[in-house]
Amino acid sequence: MTKMIQIRNVPDEWHRVLKIRAAEQGTSLSEYLLREVIQHASRPSMQEALAAIMRDKPVTAGPDGAQIIKDMREGR
């Protein structure tokens, strides 16, 4: 089931900008804003992104550059 969202007290300047952008895309203001809201909501929030990073396995460091050069010079 779909829900209705209402935004009040939008300044005239921003209402005009949004109407122009909707018209440029050949859609109504309502369709334009719905698409924008869905696009915004489909991206993870900062907290969700950080939680996903914390769930990942930690990256372990390999040998440093100096050790690699030393090993190459010693023929390993």
pLDDT at 47: 97
pLDDT at 32: 98
Does residue 6 fall inside a structural domain? no
Residues in the chain, total: 76
pLDDT at 57: 86
pLDDT at 19: 98
Does residue 17 fall inside a structural domain? yes
Does residue 66 fall inside a structural domain? no
Q: Which domain holds residue 24?
A: 12-56
Does residue 1 fall inside a structural domain? no
Does residue 29 fall inside a structural domain? yes
Which residue, among 14, 33, 11, has the nearest Cα to 22 in the 3D structure?
33
Q: What is the pLDDT of residues 20-72, one digit of tens each?
A: 999 999 999 999 999 999 999 999 999 999 999 999 988 888 888 888 899 89
Does residue 30 fall inside a structural domain? yes
pLDDT at 25: 98
What total of structural domains would you count in the chain? 1
Does residue 33 fall inside a structural domain? yes
